[in-house]
Amino acid sequence: MTDENRGCKAGSRRHRRPRRPAGFLLRAALALASIVGAGLTAASLALPAAESPRTIRLLEIARTTHGRLIDHNGNHLPDMGDSIASASDLFRWDGSRGGPRVGHIWRLCILATRRTGNCAATVFLPDGTVRIYGYVDFDRAPDELAVLGGTGAYLGMRGSFTSQPLGPGSARSSDLVRLLR
């Protein structure tokens, strides 16, 4: 037996879906693609444009002539596994003359040998911090380390940090920070 109104068997409560026109799926796919495209366009406009490389020149003056040795084995000599902590003040630098103080740097180096180590440093500047890390040979200059990021104006930055002593045994160095976003 069939139902008079729907052409279904009596007692069957199945509902038949109405047939859609042939171009329906194509129109739905195009509508979805245009919505996604508009969303991606809006998102890309909301992101800041890529910045050009930024260079910061600094004069670094150590607060003491030697870093503080953290002597883990108690022999009062720098050995593998010992640490050296140091701090320096940073001044604006044009390559020949220092300007006003603009910040400071703290570093901690874990010695791999008596003359080399893995160093981590944080440069504190008025508009944020820059995080630096790298392997340093204390007898060789200049030191070039990686910029791993930062805070404030330096959030998401990467680049390099180069430090060149201004003479043998000097407590002063010329620092160059090259940043990319």
- For the chain, first and last CA: distance in Å? 74
Rounded distance between C-alpha atoms, residue 132 and residue 61, angstroms? 18
Give pLDDT, residue 128.
97
Q: What is the pLDDT of residue 98?
A: 80
Question: DSSP letters along 80-112, please?
Answer: TT-EEEEEEEEEEE-SSSEEEEEEEEEEEEEES
Nearest of 177, 173, 178 to residue 59 by alpha carbon:
173
Residue 33: what pLDDT?
Answer: 45
User: Around Cβ 65, how many Cβ atoms within 10 Å?
Assistant: 9
- Domains defined along the chain, listed by start: 1-47 (no CATH), 54-180 (2.40.480.10)
- % the chain with pLDDT above 70: 71
Q: What is the mean pLDDT of the chain?
A: 80
**Predicted confidence (pLDDT) per residue in 69-123, tens digit:** 999 989 999 999 999 999 999 999 887 788 899 999 999 999 999 999 999 999 9
- What whole-number distance in Å separates Cα of residue 153 and Cα of residue 20? 55
Residue 27 or residue 167, greater confidence: 167
What was the pLDDT predicted at 8? Answer: 52
What pLDDT sits at residue 47?
Answer: 39
pLDDT digits (tens, 9 = 90+) for 42-55: 333 333 545 578 99
